[in-house]
């Protein structure tokens, strides 16, 4: 069965520090991979996605993610975190199940940024 694991429930970093959020997936084929951000009381915003090609993907707000097939991972990174990045981050896999395309979401990582 398909699954997505985000091992870190909470992460705290200082403003200006680098950030890496981990995501591991289980899927029988090459997945479509996504990172979403959700600010408090807000909807989901797509940060970036990977379908194929270059395994290093650039997204909005200075985020990037790297697909590593051998590790079944799609970790999100940012070289310098801003206070406005404090939010919940969700990794998701696009999975074809019974002919229907669906998202499977990880449990999320809540990011806190210290001034």
Partner 1 sequence: SAVISQKPSRDICQRGTSLTIQCQVDSQVTMMFWYRQQPGQSLTLIATANQGSEATYESGFVIDKFPISRPNLTFSTLTVSNMSPEDSSIYLCSVDPTEYGYTFGSGTRLTVV
Provide the binding-site residues for partner 1, judged by CB under 8 A.
Answer: 32, 34, 41-44, 46, 49, 90, 94, 100-108
Closest approach of partner 1 to the CB of residue 51, in Å: 9
What's the closest the beta carbon of residue 22 comes to partner 1, in angstroms?
A: 15
What is the rounded CA–CA span in Å between residue 101 and residue 113? 35
CB of 80 to partner 1, least distance (A): 26
Q: What's the CA angle centered on 62, arms 42 and 58, to 5 degrees? A: 105
Backbone angle region of 83, left / alpha / beta, with phi > 0 → left and psi within -120 to 50 → alpha = alpha
5 vs 72 by CB, closer to partner 1: 5
């Amino acid at each position: 069965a398909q699954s997505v694991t985000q091992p870190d429930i909470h992460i705290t970093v200082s403003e200006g520090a680098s950030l890496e959020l981990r995501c591991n997936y289980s899927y029988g084929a090459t997945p479509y991979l996504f990172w979403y951000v959700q600010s408090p009381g807000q909807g989901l915003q797509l940060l970036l996605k990977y379908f194929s090609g270059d395994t290093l993907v650039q997204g909005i707000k200075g985020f990037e993610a790297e697909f590593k097939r051998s590790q079944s991972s799609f970790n999100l990174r940012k070289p310098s975190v801003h206070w406005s990045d404090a939010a919940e981050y969700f990794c998701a896999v696009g999975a074809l199940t019974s002919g229907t395309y669906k998202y499977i979401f990880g449990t999320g990582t809540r990011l806190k940024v210290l001034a």
